[in-house]
A and B are shown apart, each in its own frame.
Chain A
């Protein structure tokens, strides 16, 4: 039962343009969402998060949007830079539960 889905396995974006990565979830009990970035041969690193009481959180070039009614969140990166090329994982958590549920990731490639 895949509760967190990233339906695009890969995405290519021109340098300087906006990258939009999408994530859908099915469990309405999720109340906190995170994005992780992963380079090859490294572990995932935390990028940005959002609580279910918000619909937007911004940190520099990274913005996460949450649409609870659609059970959808997205990560916007603008402007995209070559160093952003990585696999991005969406993750979610139920309040009071220590477990993070991850999506399968989207490989983002920034084209110079």
Chain B
């Protein structure tokens, strides 16, 4: 009955590979987000989708591409992984784009070697 789930929880891969992280929410929310928490513990938003439509696209390399097949899912695909992509990636959702409270998934720790 997990509200916001992410897979995988851990991901270790080599530079240059392509990988995807999946996120699903069963809260019936309209809006979903991807955040990156780097080594300095900064939690920064990357993307936000509202009803499958991209509404926030921060300054993120083109190698990162979000995909929302439906409003309950928001996946993150990363091409040509670099060492600096190592971080914890959190998915979150909110009732709608105007809601202040966001519900977070458990995070995916990505390590690029």
Residues of A near any B CB (own CB < 8 A) = 32, 34, 36, 41-46, 49, 89, 93, 98-100, 102, 104-105
Contact = CB atoms under 8 A, between A and B. Distances in A.
Nearest to B91: A43
A93 B56 CA distance: 14
B106 A44 contact: no
A104 B44 CA distance: 10
B100 A49 contact: yes
B81 to A, nearest CB: 22
A104 B42 contact: yes
B48 A41 contact: no
Contacts of A89: 43
Contact of B4 (A43, A100, A104): A43
Interface residues of B, number: 25
Q: Which secondary structure characterizes the binding site on chain A? A: strand
Nearest to B101: A46
A61 to B, nearest CB: 19
Interface string B85-113: 00000101000011011111111000000
Contact of A102 (B31, B44, B56, B101): B44
Given A42-B106, A98-B48, A99-B56, A104 B100 contact: no
A6 B64 CA distance: 29
Contacts of B100: 32, 34, 49, 93, 100
Contacts of A102: 42-44
18 contacts: A32-B100, A34-B100, A34-B101, A36-B104, A42-B107, A43-B104, A43-B105, A43-B107, A45-B103, A46-B101, A46-B102, A98-B48, A98-B98, A99-B48, A100-B45, A100-B102, A102-B43, A105-B41
